[in-house]
Chains A and B, each alone.
Chain A
Amino acid sequence: MEQALTVDQRWDLVDKITKETVEVGAYEPTLRDAIAGVTVRPLTGIPFAIAVLYGFWTFFGEFAGLFTDGFFVRIFGTHWIPWLAERLAGLPDWAFVILVGDRAVFAEEFLGDSCFAAGGVLTTGLFMPFGIVLWAVLALFLVLAILEDTGYLPRLAVLLDTVMHKIGLHGFAIVPTLISLGCNVPGVTACRPLETRKQRFMMIALLGVFVPCGAQIGMMEELVPGLIGWVFLTLAVGYLGFGWVLNKILPGESPEILMDVPPYQAPQWSNILRKTWMRTQHFLLVAVPFVLLGCAIVMALYTTGAMDAIAGGLEGFLATVFGVPASATPSLVVGFLRKDLAIGLLPIETMTNYQVFKSVILLTIYFPCLATFAMLLRELNWKEILGTLGFLVAMIFVFGGILNLIGMAGGW
């Protein structure tokens, strides 16, 4: 066994080898360098970042809207759901309710939107993932893949580093955060390059609690487009504010993160498409079964009357603490499974705008979906898991309570 070198000796050797083999010629700045400069200098970089994010957001809205409103609402609403209701009309009541939905929706005098109102596994259960959420996540995954592959994400991190430092976070936090906007599962994985346990725990807790996923955003965009701005603003305040609090109260170090900024590259379309497809596939395999299961559970609870019992039990609590009506109970019940489904089940017509806003915030903060929870189990130890859940419960009460008080003060 040869004697190992010390770190200094090894660097010394590296030095000597490179001196002999590497020749660095005169450097000529390229267009790529010019772009790189413009995008990280705050004066030009911040407007550039806003323009990029706004552009992508617009694309997301247009793309998802095109498929959902332009196509699937009609397919489901005027063809598939009425056809199915007619074909299965002969089923026993309980089976009809679970598979197709509430019979009242199919009565002549019903004027609402059967896509959401029906509620059955084969109607609303299929409409939500395939009619709405699939297109939203597809658009988001595509946009994120482009941001990732060009090399813009780490530059955004550099740009935001100074601002984020003021609240004790790092610019790097933007990478898992943006990825989480597609899906929290890869977002949690993206926290691994963080160096200390404290940093990872903080980041994962903040993601799990304050960052809505693509599926949820898709549902919000469809159901409450006017409120999305307020929802994001509130969540951002919570994310930054409680990031600061966690950083203050948690023991441990939060050292500077040295991040390598790679050169800009033209994205490889084959890679972007494959990545988008892999993530979409994950959505189809993991999310869709839970949405269907969630629909079945809700409808089963309805037909057996159990839902009314649960709602009755929760009514006083929901009304006093959060100022949310008991009719939001089904959403809370399936929030454990899928948050997109939970938002889809909110009784929007019967609630005030402010109640809808509060409910959407609460559902976002509420328990992470099952797939994300499985990720937490993998990435955190049991103490940190309990810590995350404790944080989550605290946030529900803090946000629910404060928003309720604001609502009362404002008379909304």
Chain B
Amino acid sequence: MNKVLLMGQANVGKSVLFNHLAGAGATVSNYPGTTVDFDKGHMMLQGKKVDVIDVPGTFSLQPKDRAEEVAVKMLEKEKGATVVCVIDSSKVERGLYLALELIEKGHSVIIDLNMADVAENANIKVDTERLEDILGVPVVTTVAIRGEGLKELVSRMGEAMPAGIESITKRVGGKGGTSTHS
């Protein structure tokens, strides 16, 4: 692994996370679309120096504006990278759509349920273990703005791996293969 891409929708805290992982450099604002070009930095991972890229926010892999185009191109160029899919814990379903797209494309994914504090305030609980079982990729919880959970995120980045969308379809619901859509 030589590159880490931070991907996710706008305003889920990718740039805050980036600043923690790769030091200074990215500007962060509390409105969507602050990162319109990507920011690049380095971090140490298992004793090796790897590139970290803060990709502009995107809702899906079908780009709708210029910032999203940058994001999708970036992803296509970095086929072998580890993709950290950052999700707002209070809006899991929105982020999961992108996560599934990333998994379908065969990327090595690790899910970061960020903004866990916002979810907690809104009384939303996410069963991360079950989510990890279903998706077959690591799922960690962070509050990037306060620096919480970053250690776990970094230590589990190595576990990021491609997962099969079909096996996810089978595992969900715990019954296996009942989906009428497949």
Residues of A within 8 A of B (CB): 2, 4-5, 8-18, 20-28, 30, 32, 145, 148-151, 153-154, 175, 189-190, 192-195, 200, 259-260, 262-265, 267-268, 271, 274-275, 278
What residues of chain A lie closer than 8 Å to B181, measured between beta carbons? 5, 8-9, 12-13
List of B residues within 8 angstroms of A194 by Cβ:
65
Q: Which of A32, A151, A263 has the most CB of B within 10 A?
A: A263
Apart from A21-B134, A264-B30, list 14 A-B contacts with CB within 8 A: A5-B165, A12-B179, A13-B168, A16-B173, A17-B131, A27-B123, A148-B29, A148-B34, A154-B31, A195-B64, A260-B11, A265-B30, A268-B145, A275-B28
Q: Is B33 an interface residue (CB 8 A)?
A: yes
Closest A residue, CB atoms, query B100: A10
**Bound complex: CA A18 to CA B90 (Å):** 11
Q: Are B32 and A17 in contact (CB under 8 A)?
A: no
Q: Is the CB of A192 within 8 A of B123?
A: no
Residues of A within 8 A of B121 (CB): 30, 32
Judge whether A274 and B124 touch: CB under 8 Å. Answer: no
Contact B124 A262 (CB under 8 A): no
Report B61-109 residues with CB < 8 Å from chain A CB: 64-67, 92-93, 96-97, 100-101, 104
Q: In the docked arrangement, what's the CA distance between A6 and B3, Å?
A: 29
Find out whether the CB atom of B124 lies under 8 angstroms from the CB atom of A190. no
Complex CA distance for A16 and B93, rounded to whole angstroms: 10
Q: CB within 8 A of B122: which of A2, A27, A271, A278?
A: A27
The contact of A21 among B67, B97, B123, B127, by CB within 8 Å, is B127
Q: Report chain A residues within 8 Å CB of B65.
A: 192-195
| B124:A25 contact, CB within 8 angstroms | yes
Answer whether residue B53 sits at the interface, using C-beta atoms and an 8 A cutoff: no
Give per-residue flags for B144-172: 1 if the beta carbon is below 8 A from chain A beta carbons, else 0: 01000000000000000000111011001
On whether the beta carbons of A22 and B30 are closer than 8 Å, the reply is no
* B123/A17 in contact, CB under 8 A: no
A260 CB to closest chain B CB, in angstroms? 5
Number of chain B residues close to chain A: CB under 8 A: 52
CB A114 to nearest CB in B, in angstroms, measures: 39
- Please name all residues of chain B whose beta carbon is closer than 8 Å to the beta carbon of A23 when the two chains form the complex: 124-127
Distance in angstroms from B119 CB to nearest chain A CB is 9
Known: A5-B165, A9-B181, A192-B67. A21 touches B131 (CB 8 A): yes
The CA of A153 and the CA of B32, in the complex, are separated in Å by 10
Q: Which of A14, A264, A265, A275 has the most CB of B within 10 A?
A: A14
Is there contact, CB below 8 Å, between A5 and B100? Answer: yes
Whether the pair B131, A151 counts as a contact (CB closer than 8 A) is: no
B27 located at the interface, meaning its Cβ lies under 8 Å from any Cβ of chain A in the complex = yes
**Contact of B173 with A265 in the complex, beta carbons under 8 Å:** no
Bound state CA distance, A190 and B10, in angstroms?
Answer: 13
- Whether the Cβ atoms of A20 and B134 lie closer than 8 Å is yes
Given A24-B124, A149-B30, does the pair A18, B165 have CB atoms closer than 8 Å?
A: no
Contact call B124/A22, Cβ cutoff below 8 A:
yes
- Contact A274 to B24, CB < 8 A, known contacts A13-B169, A15-B93: yes
Decide if B36 touches A189 in the complex (CB within 8 Å).
yes
Report the Cα distance A145→B28, complex, angstroms: 9
Given A18, A28, A265, which contacts B92 in the complex, CB threshold below 8 Å? A18
Residue of A nearest to B68 (CB): A193
B44 interfacial by beta-carbon distance below 8 Å: no
Most B-side CB within 10 Å, residue of A20, A264, A268: A20
A259 to B, closest residue via Cβ: B32
Checking B10, B164, B172 against A16 with a beta-carbon cut-off of 8 angstroms, the contacting residue is B172
* Shortest Cβ gap from A149 to chain B (Å): 5
Residue pair B104, A2 in contact (C-beta under 8 Å): yes
- A20 contacts across to B, CB distance below 8 A: 127, 130, 134, 172-174
Interface code B126-138, partner A: CB below 8 Å = 1, 0 otherwise? 1110110011000
Partner of A25, one of B11, B34, B125: B125
> Does B66 contact A17, Cβ atoms closer than 8 Å?
no
Contacts of B126 in A (CB 8 A): 21-23
CB pair B100 A260 closer than 8 Å: no
